[in-house]
Amino acid sequence: MDTGGNSLPSGADGVKRKVSYFYDPEVGNYYYGQGHPMKPHRIRMTHALLAHYGLLQHMQVLKPCPARDRDLCRFHADDYVSFLRGITPETQQDQLRQLKRFNVGEDCPVFDGLYSFCQTYAGGSVGGAVKLNHGLCDIAINWAGGLHHAKKCEASGFCYVNDIVLAILELLKQHERVLYVDIDIHHGDGVEEAFYTTDRVMTVSFHKFGDYFPGTGDIRDIGFGKGKYYSLNVPLDDGIDDESYHCLFKPIIGKVMEIFRPGAVVLQCGADSLSGDRLGCFNLSIKGHAECVRFMRSFNVPLLLLGGGGYTIRNVARCWCYETGVALGIEVDDKMPQHEYYEYFGPDYTLHVAPSNMENKNSHQLLDEIRAKLLDNLSTLRHAPSVQFQERPPDTELPEADEDHDDGDERWDPDSDMEIDDERKPLPGRVKREIVEPESKDLVCPVPHVQ
């Protein structure tokens, strides 16, 4: 690995990027429940670091417009969205059948404000896609997004609504091809499944594989039909370090960019692949994780950065703060400024944490075999697929105001799948149970508007 994400080189990649950053001050108030590893509070901690490092002044800061029912139904089933909108902790005992049907319960609990939480994080991701589509920024960031396990008709792995799929559908209105890259420790199964049969979206997931949630993401899973070879899975073992990770990430992503030539890129920056994560077992440093952001940024293609997993929350905040700096082209100081969550970061009060001395179970031979196999798969795609738009959906309107914008409905385009948006109520998280896997569903969801 060369720069390790520590500094951005001069030249083309050193040019400042215009960054739009989505944040709702309420997001940290949502609570999955006692003992649940998913803590939206980490988003507020990240924001506090960004504020005290002085990074907010270098970005356009936007409060996301909440996604409405009809926006969520561009991917999700109507009855599933209706269920999420109506369920509350008080009423869940009366809907046990529905809870089981939609996989809501243990990993994905019902909590106060659940639906408004979904609307908020999905709204930020779709809003970022809209900004990129209109050319109003080079990079859009929504650290509250990246919930990659949610399926068309069910919650999964702490995820209820798949904001990533919704954002990619928005990007496809403007771009013939969209690349999705996932560096969460868990396989990006919900996104891969959604686009498994199309050549307009390539999905690339780097993840722990083998007796690990969600149990999918074999290197042999490559897509189907028109989507064959447009799904890439990079199965990894415990303890992978920065050097090993990037000996795969850079050549594979470099070849993907050369052959697929996406018009836009979505990078899911799940921080549970960091060393010392509560649920993870990788050994990446924050600089090594951020090197993925730096590398994607270097291609100068419209880029949407999203959050995802991450359960040692002080390290999640460190990571996403540092990666925001990478997106901006600003190197932030390791010594942490005083702020309201300062005590979380003791005893060192630094931004970076050293990786551990855990064993790297990824041998050079294994890494070489994975790299060769995936590069061989890519070699079957000699050039970017030719795509003709058919009945392109209308562009989503852009909101005029930023963080003080009150009307959440003005951004969205008028075509509606459901007419119940005016009765939106804030209603009801997620503890990934690595040991117990949910029942697998042989379901490939059709994707609207994708040819």
Active site residues: 149
- CA-based end-to-end distance of the chain: 38
Do 187 and 204 touch, CB atoms closer than 8 A? no
Strand partners, 264: 178
Establish whether 272 is an annotated binding residue.
yes
CA distance 212 to 259: 31
Establish whether 184 is an annotated binding residue.
yes
312-330 as b/e: b if 16+ CB within 10 A? bbbbbbbbbbbbbbbbbbe
| Among 274, 254, 359, CA closest to 314 | 274
CA-based torsion, 405, 416, 441, 265: positive or negative: negative
Establish whether 157 is an annotated binding residue.
yes
Establish whether 334 is an annotated binding residue.
no
CA distance 409 to 71: 10
CA distance 384 to 313: 39
CA distance 178 to 172: 7
Establish whether 311 is an annotated binding residue.
yes
CA distance 170 to 149: 19
Do 81 and 427 touch, CB atoms closer than 8 A? no
3-state per-residue secondary structure call for 391-421:
CCCCCCCCCCCCCCCCCCCCCCCCCCCCCCH
| Among 315, 310, 312, 204, CA closest to 260 | 204
CA 323, chain centre distance (Å):
14
299: which DSSP letter?
T
| Among 222, 306, 219, 237, CA closest to 269 | 306
Radius of gyration (C-alpha) of the chain in whole angstroms: 20
AA identity, residue 82: S
Please give the backbone phi and psi of residue 118, each rounded to the nearest 5 degrees, phi first: -60, -45
How many other β-carbons are positioned within 10 Å of the β-carbon of residue 377? 21
Copy the structure tokens of residue 7. 């500094």
Helix axes 242-260, 286-297, angle to 10 degrees: 10
How many other β-carbons are positioned within 10 Å of the β-carbon of residue 197? 19
| Binding positions for substrate | 107, 157, 311
| Binding positions for a divalent metal cation | 184, 186, 272
| Binding positions | 107, 157, 184, 186, 272, 311
